[in-house]
Structure 1
Amino acid sequence: MAFTRATGKHRRPSRSARTTRNIAGIAGLAASGVVASVSSPAMAATSGASHDTGLQRAVVLGDELAERVQAQADAQQAVAETAEAKAKAEADAVKQAEAAKAVADKRHEAEVRAAREEERRRLNAFVAPISGSYVSTAYQASSGLWSSGTHTGIDFHAATGTTVHAVGAGTVVEAGWGGAYGNNIVIKMNDGTYTQYGHLSQIGVSVGQQVMPGQQIALSGATGNVTGPHLHFEARTGADYGSDIDPIAYLRAHGVNV
C-alpha cells in the first residue's frame, strides 16, 4: 500500500530533489579533487567505489543539514504564529474592554440625565399647603375684617396644629410675627414669586433656610387677626404687602388641584 504525504506550507522537498541539489553543491568542491576524480575517465575506472561512497555520505549530510534548517524554520514560524495569535487576542480584549466601557459610560450618562430630570421635576413640583383641605374663604372676598376691605389671599380650612407644607421649592425670607397675619412665613420661590403662610401656631423654619415642595414648615393656628383657626395663604409677585395675585390661579398654574 502506497502512502502519500499531504501537501503543506512547510513540506520538505523530495529526497530526489534534495539529492540533486546536494550533488550540484558537491560539484562546486573542485579544490578538494572530488570533481576531478569523478570527471577523469582513468581515475573513475580504478576508484569509482570510493568516490561513490563519498558522494553518498555528502548526500546524507546534506539531507541532515536541510532537515535541521527546515526544523529550525518550522520552529521559528510556530513562534511567530503564536506571537501573532497572542497579539490578536490582546487587541481583541482591548477592543472588548473599550466597547464595554463605552456602553457603561452611556448607561451612566443616561442615569445622570434621568436623575437630573427627576430632581428638576421634584424642585419644580408644587403641592397644596394643607393636605386634604378646601378653600373656606375666597380671594378678594369683601369684609371689614381686612384693612384693605378685601381678602388678599385664600383661607384653607384647618384645625390648630395641622401640618402646613411649603407649596414649592424656595428660600425663607421671613419667619416670625407678622402683625394681623400673626405668626407667618414668607418664602421666595425658585421661580421668583413669593408665597405667604399666616396665623400659624408654630413655625418650623428660619430665615435663609431652603425648603422643598411638600416640606413641613409650620403648624396651622389662630394667631393674629382671626375669628378661628385656619391657614391664610397668599401668592405674590414681590415680598411686600399689596403685590398679591390670585392664589387659586397660581396653584393651578403649577399643577395643584384646588
Structure 2
Amino acid sequence: MAFTRPTGKHRRPSRAVRSGANVAGIATLTMGGVVAGFAAPAIAAADEAHRTEDTGLTQAIVMSDAISGNVDAQAQTQRSAADEASVRQQAEKDAKQRASEAKKRADEAQRKADAERAEKERAAREEERKRLNLFVIPIDGSYVSTPYKASSGLWSSGSHTGVDFHAESGTSVHAVGAGTIVEAGWGGAYGNNIVIKMNDGTYTQYGHLSSIGVSVGDTVTAGQQIGLSGATGNVTGPHLHFEARTAPTYGSDIDPVAYLRSHGVSL
C-alpha cells in the first residue's frame, strides 16, 4: 500500500520529499512485479536530476566566491593606487616646500649681497669724494713764514700776493688738492712754478721750485708730490711761495690761509 503526504493548506512538499515519494511508489510497483524492469532507469534518472540540482548550487557558490575575490582584488588595487597617489602628492608638496624655502634663502642671500655691494659702492664713492675734496698743507710740518698781503718793495704790487712756507731747498712739495696741471715751467719772478686748476674750479700756484715733477695736462691728487722747493726767481732764500686764485693769471689771488682752512686744513 502506498502512502502519500497530505496537502491542502500545508506547504508544498519539498523536492526531496517528492523525489522520495516517487521512489517509494516505484518501489511498490516493483514489489507487485509489474514494472520491475522500469524501476531501475527511473531511479537512476531521479538520482541524476538530484545530482544536477546539487551541482548547480555548487557552481553558484563557486562563482560567488570568484566574484567576491575579484571585488576584493580590485578594492585592494584601488587602495594601493590611492596610497601611491597620496604618497606622490605628499612628495610633490614636500618638494615644492623645499624649493620655496631654497628660493627664499637664495633671495635673502642675493638681497644681502646686493646690500653689501651697494654699501661698498657707497663707501667707495664717499672715499673718492673725500679724496677728490681732500686738501692738505703743501709742505708737511711747515709753517707760514710770510703772510698774505705783507707790504714790501720786494714785490712789484707792493704787497705779498700769496704766503711763503718755510722750507729748505729740495723739500717735497705736494698738491694741496685734486686737479689738473695747467702750467709747469718758468714763471719769471716766480722762478720755476706750477699752476693747478683744482676740481672745485679754483687755482693754486707753487713758486720758486728747484725742480718740477709734473707736466701740463697731468692730473694730481691731494698730497701727491709735484716738485721740490728751492730759491729760483725773485727770492732772498729758499722757501715755497703758495697762492690761491680764482683764475690762472696773476692778480686774481685770494687769501691762501683762509682758502686752505675752508677746505679743512689746519694752519
The reply to whether TM is greater than 0.5 is yes
What SS class does the counterpart of residue 74 from structure 1 fall into? Answer: helix
Which residue of structure 1 lines up, in the alignment, with residue 121 of structure 2?
112
Could you list the per-position Cα deviations for residues 165-193 of structure 1 after superposition, in whole angstroms to 9, with x for gaps in the alignment?
00011111000000000000000111111
Partner of 2:23: none
Equivalent of residue 253 in structure 1, options 231, 245, 262: 262
Q: Deviations over 1:203-244 (max 9, x none)?
A: 000001111000000100000000000000001111110111
Mapping of residues 95-110 of structure 1, within 5 Å: 95-110=104-119
Tell me the residue number matched to 2:205. 196
SS at match of 1:186: strand
1:99 CA displacement: 1.9
2:219 is aligned, of 207, 210, 215, to 210
How is 1:1-258 mapped onto 2 (pairs within 5 angstroms)?
A: 47-258=56-267
Partner of 2:32: none
Distance 2:162 2:53 in 1: 136
Deviation at 1:71, TM superposition (A): 1.0
Q: What CA distance in whole angstroms lies between the structure 2 residues aligned with 1:82 and 1:186? A: 76
Where in structure 1 are there 5+ consecutive unaligned residues?
1-42
Deviations 1:82-136 (A, max 9, x none): 2232233223222221221111111101110111011101110100001101111
Q: CA distance change for structure 1 residues 240 and 46 in 2, over 3 Å: closer, same or farther?
A: closer
Give the secondary structure class of the aligned counterpart of 1:88: helix
Looking at structure 2, the residues matched to 54 and 240 of structure 1 have their Cα atoms a distance apart, in angstroms, of 122
Q: RMSD of the TM alignment (CA)?
A: 1.7
Which TM-score applies when normalising by structure 2?
0.77
Q: Which aligned segments of 4 or more residues in structure 1 are displaced greater than 6 angstroms?
A: 43-46
Which letter maps to 2:134? A
Equivalence for 2:10: none
Shift of 1:76: 2.5
Q: Percent identity?
A: 61
Unaligned runs of 5+ in 2: 1-51
Aligned length: 216
SS of equivalent to 2:137: coil
Between stretches 96-105 and 181-190, larger displacement belongs to 96-105
CA distance in 2, matches of 1:150, 1:162: 26
Greater radius of gyration (CA)? 2
SS in structure 2 of the partner of residue 92 of structure 1 = helix
Give how far 1:55 is off.
1.6
Distance 1:44 1:254, change over 3 A: farther
SS state of the match for residue 91, structure 1? helix
| Per-residue CA distance 1:138-188 (angstroms, 9 max, x = gap) | 111111111111111100110000000000111110000000000000001
